[in-house]
Amino acid sequence: MYESMTSSQHRCCLQPEVHYITANSSPPLRQLFPPVSIPSRLKNMSNQPSSPSQHPIILQLRAEATETAHQSSQAISSLAWLWPIRGIYFTVTHPEVVLSVKGTLVKSLLSSVITFIVLAVLTYLPQAAFLSIFTGFLGPFLALLLVGAESIFLLTFLAKPLFLEPALTQVFDSTLIAKGQGRVVNEGKAKYASSKSAGRSGIENAVVRPFQALSRDGVLKYLLSLPLNMVPVLGTVAFLLLNGHRGGPGWHARYFQLKGLDKKQRAEFVDKRRPEYTAFGMATLLFNFVPLVGLVFTFTSTVGAALWAAELEAQVNLIGGEGSSTKQD
């Protein structure tokens, strides 16, 4: 009897007390688990892309690459890449169009030669050796193109000190006049002067922009696409197409300003002819990669852009019809 009581008491002592929480007796969950304030810096981090591949610039670059790949065959078949070549021929037969800015031309030539030589001395051999590992005998040639692409990138920082864009604008206007389109130049200048005095913001002070692909928004994309040149042939073609797609319309910025097109009208015009502008930008970029004298080809490419604009203007005032929405192409 005693033993059984002792055993029973022992078991009772070993059993833990259990408190049952009812709906009436339980404290609110907010008291048990008070809210924790998340620092704003962590909130911002949570809104950021989870991986580098989701960065906005990467996504834009991917979208441009997809669009360019779909339009590559149209760009080649458009034959717009011939205009820079025609610009070279016209410059040789009409040297006065570029000799009017011979001071800037000489400065551009010297800058191009010096920049290319410095980069070649410092970077050509390491890049050629590295590329030869993956591309074999094509390594030295691809390294030469890569040095040309890098020199153009550096020369963009000299565009303003050299007054390159105003000089190219003068070449553009001179070519239009030589092709019998002086009326477009004179009316465009008068139209811009009146709109500027009226304080309108739709028309900008546009000049020829040979390095639109290397503008503030495009520099990072240009640098990210540089490694494409490490892939033999196809990689270089992809690099030219991608950056030509972005930089082609900049060669007609002056023409759009002369015709009084606002941003929306320019965008519509370019979108309708995107393959042609891609082909043109691709060809001009390839000429800029020519060793030592790459920057000089911006003058001949400007002449080619003006020849193209003169042909468009001769086609029943095509761009003027779009600007005023009175004619359709």
pLDDT in tens, 12-71: 455 555 555 554 555 554 554 455 554 554 444 445 555 555 556 566 666 666 766 667
In the chain, the percentage of residues whose pLDDT exceeds 70 is 65
Six-digit token pair at 296? 């000089």
CA dihedral 202, 205, 208, 209 (to 10 degrees): -80
Q: Output the DSSP codes for 224-258.
A: HHGGGGGSTTHHHHHHHHHHHHHHGGGGGHHHHHH
To the nearest 10 degrees (0 to 180), the angle between helices 274-288 and 56-77 is 100
Question: pLDDT tens for residues 259-271?
Answer: 888 889 999 999 9
Decide if 196 contacts 260 (C-beta within 8 A). no
| Angle between helix 297-314 and helix 274-288 axes, rounded to 10 deg | 160
What is the overall mean pLDDT for the chain? Answer: 76
Contact 324, 227 (CB under 8 A): no
Q: 140 vs 7, which has greater pLDDT?
A: 140
More confident residue, 151 or 35: 151
Task: For residue 147, give every residue at least 6 positions away whose Cβ sits within 8 Å of its Cβ, in sequence order, or none.
Answer: 116, 119, 120, 123, 124, 127, 291
From CA 295, how far away is CA 108, in angstroms rounded?
6
Q: How far apart are CA 213 and CA 285, in angstroms?
A: 10
Q: Which of 87-101, 124-138, 142-156, 285-299 reaches the highest mean pLDDT?
A: 87-101
Q: Based on the number of CB atoms within 10 Å of its own CB, is 236 exposed (0-12), middle (13-18) or buried (19 or more)?
A: buried
**CA-CA-CA-CA dihedral for 307, 309, 315, 321, to nearest 10:** -170
Instruction: State yes or no: pLDDT of 286 exceeds 60.
Output: yes
Given a cut of 90, is residue 203 above it in pLDDT? no
Taking the C-alpha atoms of residue 156 and residue 14, their distance in angstroms, rounded to an integer, is: 84
Quick check: 256 and 207 in contact, CB under 8 A? no
Question: Does 75 have pLDDT greater than 90?
Answer: no
Q: What confidence score (pLDDT) does residue 288 get?
A: 86
Distance in angstroms (rounded) separating the CA atoms of residues 284 and 294: 10
Asked whether residue 113 carries a pLDDT value surpassing 70, the answer given is yes
CB 213 within 8 A of CB 241: no
Quickly state the pLDDT bin for 179 (edges 50, 70, 90).
Answer: very high
Angle between the N-to-C axes of helices 139-155 and 274-288, in degrees from 0 to 180, rounded to the nearest 10: 100
Q: Who's near 299: CB < 8 A, 6+ residues apart?
A: 91, 98, 101, 105, 108, 167, 168, 171
- Residue 94: pLDDT band (50, 70, 90) is very high
